[in-house]
Chain A
Amino acid sequence: MKNLIILGAGTAGTMVANKLRPKLNTSEWNILLVDEDETHYYQPGFLFIPFEIYQPNDVIKPKRRFLPDGVELIIGKIDRVEAAENQVKLFDGRQLNYDYLVIATGTHPRPEETPGLEGEAWGDTVHDFYTFEGAVALADKLKNWPGGRMVVTIMEFPFKCPVAPLEFIFLADSYFTQKGMRDQVELTLATPLPGAFTKPVAEKHLSQMLADRDIKVVPDFYTEMVDTDTNVVMSYDEEEIPYDLLVTIPVNMGADFVDRSGLGDELNHVKVDKETFLSPHYNNIFALGDAAALPTSKAGSVAHFAVDIFTENFLEHIAGRPMTHRFDGHANCFIESGYGKGILIDFNYDVEPLPGKFPLPGIGPFELLTETRMNHWGKMAFRWIYWNLLLKGRPIPMVPAEMKMAGKELELIST
C-alpha cells in the first residue's frame, strides 16, 4: 500500500482529496488528511459578518461532510515534517509515514507579529475580520459604534485575499451610509504597497472609486507598532495615524511546522515550483493553496485552478512520467464594492487585470474591472458554488483552470 498524506483539510486539501480519491485505486493507495480542526470555515464569508450580511452559521460546516469515502481524516496538530525520512510528526506523538506529501495548511493572521496589537484593546478598539472569532466580535462592535475614525491597516504583504481590505472599506462606507451616519465616520486605508491599486490598468479604472466614496488612502505605510494607550498606528517612517477603531489585516504566515521542517520562506510559505507545485528539494513533496509561496494571489479561486493542474500532473508523476501541465497563476476574484454592486478581476502570472466580459467573450454576464450589480450576484453565488461544487472537486461551469485572453480588452497605458 502507498500513502498519500495531505496536510490541511481546508479549501485546497479537501479539493485534492475529492479529485484524487476516484483516480487512485483503493487497493493500492491510502489517502490521509490531517487537520487540527473538525470545522470547515467559508473564509470569504468572514467579510460579510461584521456588517450582518451573513450570520456566523452561514460560514461553518463539518469538514467530514465534504470528504469522499475512502479518505481518512486525522485530527491533530502537525509538529513537523521529517522530509528526509518521509514522515510527519504530530504534537500528540503520532508519526505518519508517507510516500507522497501535499502541504495545504494555508496562511493565517498573526497579530502577535505587530507590537502592541494583542493587548487589552484587542476586541475593543482593535479588531480584525480574518478569523471567525474576529469577524463575529467586529459585528458586535459595529452594532453600537457611535462613529469616529475607522482605520484599516494592512500589516504585511503578501496576505490572503488581497482584495478583502478594499472590500471591507467599501462595505463599511455602504453600511454607515445606510445607517445614516456616514458623515460621522472617517474612513482610512493604510497599506505598505505604493497604493490601493498598483497595476496600471486597474488603477486607471478603479482609483476614482475611493475618492468618490471619501476614503483616504495612506500608501507606503509599513506599520512598526500600535500604541493602544494613545490610539495611534506608527510606521517605520515615524508617521502616525490616529484612530478610534482600528481594523487590522495582521501579518499572514504559514504554519510554524513549515519553518521547523526547513521548508519555508521568511513568512513560512513553502517554496515550490510555480508551475507544478513540486518542492525543489524533495521529489515527493508538493504545496498547494495559500501555503505555497507563489507570485499570484492567495485565494480560493487560485487554489481551485491549481488543484485542477496538480491532479493531472500528480498522476503522471507517480507513474514516473514527466509532468506535462503548467499552472499559469490564474486568479478570478469578485470585489464587493457596496450598495449591491461588485467588480470582477481575472488575471495570471503574466497578465494584469484587464477590462472586458467574463466568462463568455462579448456576452458576460460578468464585466471585468467594472462595477455592476451582476458582479455582486456573482460574489453572493460563490458561497453556494464553494460548498456544492468547488470543495467537492466538481467543475465550475465555463471557468477553466487556464486564464483566457478572449473577452479581454487590451489597453495601452502610457505615461
Chain B
Amino acid sequence: MTTKEIAGKTIHFDDSGFMADAKEWNNEVAVELAAEIGINPLTEMHWQVIEFCRQDFLANGDAPNVRRITKQAGIPTKQLYKLFPKGPAKKAAYVSGLKKPTGCI
C-alpha cells in the first residue's frame, strides 16, 4: 500500500498501483489519474464510460470487462479503444478509482 497526494487529497494505492479505496475518488482525482496515463482531456464520452464503470463496480464488486462496457454503456469497442488506448478495461478502471481487473490467479 502506498499513498500519493492527488488533487489535494491523500489517496491510497494497492500493490498493483490501483486505488485501494473507491470511496476516496472524485472527479478531480479522475482528471489527474487520466492525465498521468496520457489521457487528457477527459471528454463527455470518457465520463460516460467512467460513470458506467463506477456504477457497475458498486453493484457487482468487480470492474467491468470490455464486452460489458460496450454492451451496457452502448459504446462500440473500436471507440472504447480510441478513448482508452491499449487495455481500455484496465485504464478505465484505473481512472475510475477501481481495482485492477484480475483473473483467479
Interface residues, chain A, with chain B CB atoms under 8 Å away:
156-157, 162-163, 192-194, 197-200, 202, 206, 220, 222, 224, 236-237, 265-267, 295-297, 331, 333, 335, 345, 347, 353, 413-415
Contacts and interface: CB of A to CB of B under 8 A. Distances in A.
Given A192-B65, A236-B66, 9 more contacts: A162-B103, A194-B90, A194-B102, A199-B103, A199-B104, A267-B67, A295-B61, A296-B104, A414-B15
A236 B77 contact: yes
B104 A347 contact: yes
Contacts of B61: 295
Nearest to A236: B81
Interface in B63-93: 65-68, 71-72, 77-78, 81, 85-87, 89-90
Contact of A415 (B17, B67, B100): B17
B86 to A, nearest CB: 6
B10 interface: no
Contact of B103 (A193, A200, A266, A413): A193
Closest 3 pairs between A and B when the two form their complex, measured CB to CB:
A198-B102, A220-B87, A266-B71
Contacts of B86: 220, 237
Contacts of B65: 156-157, 192
A287 to B, nearest CB: 15
The interface centre, meaning the residue of B2, B78, B87, B100 with most chain A CB atoms within 10 A of its CB, is B87
A359 to B, nearest CB: 19
26 contacts: A156-B65, A157-B103, A162-B103, A163-B104, A192-B65, A192-B66, A193-B103, A198-B102, A198-B103, A199-B102, A202-B105, A222-B66, A222-B77, A236-B77, A237-B81, A237-B85, A266-B67, A267-B67, A295-B60, A296-B104, A297-B104, A331-B104, A353-B104, A414-B1, A415-B15, A415-B17
Contacts of A202: 105
B32 interface: no
Contacts of A265: 68
Contacts of B68: 265-266
Interface residues of B, number: 28
Nearest to B16: A200
A237 B88 CA distance: 10
A87 to B, nearest CB: 28
Nearest to A345: B105
A281 to B, nearest CB: 15
B92 to A, nearest CB: 13
B66 A197 contact: no
Nearest to A331: B104
Given A237-B85, A267-B67, A353-B105, A413 B100 contact: no
A413 B85 CA distance: 29
The interface centre, meaning the residue of B66, B77, B101, B103 with most chain A CB atoms within 10 A of its CB, is B103
B102 A220 contact: no
A202 B105 CA distance: 6
The interface centre, meaning the residue of B17, B77, B86, B105 with most chain A CB atoms within 10 A of its CB, is B105
Contacts of B103: 157, 162, 193, 197-199
B102 A193 contact: yes
Contacts of B90: 194, 220
A231 to B, nearest CB: 23
B104 A236 contact: no
A238 to B, nearest CB: 9
A286 to B, nearest CB: 19
